[in-house]
Structure 1
Amino acid sequence: MKPEELIYDWNQLPGSHDYAAVKVELDDETLRDGLQNPSVTDPPIDKKIELLHIMVDLGIHSADIGLPGAGPRAYDAVLALAREIIDHDLPIAANAAARTVRADIEPIARIQQATGLPLEVGAFIGSSPIRQYAEDWDVDRILAATRDAIGFAVGEGLDVMYVTEDTTRSRPKTLVRLFSAAVEAGAKRICLADTVGHATPHGVRRLVRFAKDFVAGTEEPVKIDWHGHRDRGFGLANALAAIEEGVDRVHGTALGIGERIGNVEMDLLLVNLHLLGAHNHPIDRLPEYCRVTAEMCGIEVPYNYPVIGDDAFRTGTGVHAAAIIKAMQKGDGWLEDCVYSGVPASIVGRSQVIEISPVSGLSNVRFWLSQHGYDPDDEALCEAVFALAKRCDHTLSRMEIEREIARLQAARA
């Protein structure tokens, strides 16, 4: 049977968003915003370069390669990454972060001149009332900094993305004044930043519509970015809401690393856009993307992390395993991959795994034995392993199962 005959997809009912028509770009913040997470280590440059190449293979359009104004180590890393893109003609655009001050923008200009790589400046400045109050800023001061910094960047031949930090808690009138000043000074993008993960999908939709109305009123070819955090757990949902409302680019990081609990998970964004038909590039290197990030940053991937975690396609439950096994017996790889999984394991180079646990049935045992070179029709063997599983409080390891097999074989001898 055809897939569409086997899955009734409520996501695709009339009135649903047509993701196949989406042309959104993806900006990878792993090597800048991601490394601000207090629990990660700043990796050596060779690992950053390795990750950059994987980004290319995943079809990611651009990458934030650092904040060179932060110091010599940061400057050297951005310079090396820029050279890598030029030397290997990598099909990925690059941007670099900066406070909205000349001192942060000048190092980016130097790197562009040294390498010949066109760089976009992500110039950020706080815009919300709470931030203004804490910093003792007023809007006029922010406007003056905006005009000066963007004018300087444009004069140095740099493209500018103007990032209003805490956009999702900023007053509309303030945003209009700041966006207007930025566009008049030469900014080609405005970035809506949910800096503290405050927004809900409803709030995102309203903000993006507001920004699109502003851009339409300028009659300038200004693009709109979405930069989200996940403090309230809305990161991915907010990114999809922003895409549905028509932003041009969305930011994310591998494994969602970033300030506090992090950013939109680039890996999960890629999976969902791929499944929705908006990202047609292969994503089979996604596990490697996450593994390299975890290793170079010194963090662990949770066992239950979607798609990438060890348990993403692993089951020890009897009912689930029975359905997967029956699908396998039909010889249909798609059916096997989807009967008990919302994400086909094969799109990320993985496969369904059946284990033996206290909630397993005999079908789990027979399948496991057949997959590991034992006779699945040996009833005594099946019963022995099944009984062991029912006595345990955990999923059996291969060592435990083979120890029980050896015990039975020794008794038979």
Structure 2
Amino acid sequence: MLRFLFLPFFFLITVTRSTSDIKAIYWLQQPLFPPQAINTSLFTHVYYAFLAPNNATYQLHVPNSTAATLATFTATLRPSVAPLISIGGANSSSDLFAAIASNAAARAAFINSTIDVARAFGFHGVDLDWEFPRTADEMNDLGQLFREWRAAIASEASATSRKPLLLTATVYFSVDYFLSETASLRYPVGSINDNLDWINVMSYDLNGPWSNLTGPPAGLFNPKSNASVDYGLRSWIRGGVIPKKVVMGLPLYARTWQLLDPSVHGIGAPAVGAGTGLDGAMALFQVLEYNNETGANVVYDKETASVYSYSGSNWVGYDDPVTVAVKVGFAQSLYLRGYFFWAAGLDTSDWKVSTQALNSWTLCINEKGGVN
């Protein structure tokens, strides 16, 4: 643990930076933080979140207002970074994706529309954020969807003499979706390796105010359960996914709790629900402002490689430049492809955490893509 804690700051060897490394961020359509505000020097890829398929035609639905935003998005970001479309998200219908993936005609309609939209608006690729397949059949159908999607992308590229679109997926923190109502389910690893450029692993929301105990939302380690970044990332590799197809997720937001007893404020302290912030969530810049305004106590927990603060009955778990640097060093020790953030607009105004991630990655990487 201590090795990874100090590695990003003291690994001073100058090394070659791979052009295939992924340093991505999601941008959620919003008026308060336009795409022009993204510091593109910190990223290689930016995801537009989200588009959704029509529940009758299974094709991507792009209203006129959204079409204008898509055009602005790609025009703003290219050629500095590669823009991608993300389809789905936490608020999308899992049943709709299950229906699409289970039917050949629906798959074809959906796939062809994603390629058409990506090309029409100048995107470099498409991403599927299906949260989450819930049965063995749905996982198998997901694998088939990936196969047909890759084939269609290759066919379109050949017919138009254009570079093939990227194809990625945003996935659960672990290769096994063990929150299934039936039994633990495994993602279609073989199809992922064969057909996706990479997967974005949601290595966050491991703890939150839905539990009556405080805990690190994205702790690197957890000595008491499998709810850790370490366990999740290693599970993907143990499950057979090529490490260079794995991209680690990093949150630019916090989860908050209201303590049952303000005098009991460590990790695992009893809580009675969400604390400060909207539904128990705060942007990173809001956390730092809150800490300063309240004089909150800030604690770095070495056991979980996480940080939290507490003031009165409020308890806040989050990542900061120190914990992100630790995670970047850890990701490189596993030879992962890179990292991504959720989401643009939540970092500090000077992009403190995103900058630390890039600096740490650059300092740590060697020509083989990892540090032992």
TM over 0.5: no
Give the TM-score normalised by the residue count of structure 2: 0.43
User: Per chain length, whose mean CA-contact separation is higher, i.e. which structure has more relative contact order (CA < 8 Å, sep 6+)?
Assistant: 2
TM-score by length of 1: 0.39
Which of the pair is proportionally richer in helix?
1
From the CA coordinates, give the structure whose radius of gyration is larger.
1
Task: Determine which structure has the larger strand proportion and give its number.
Answer: 2
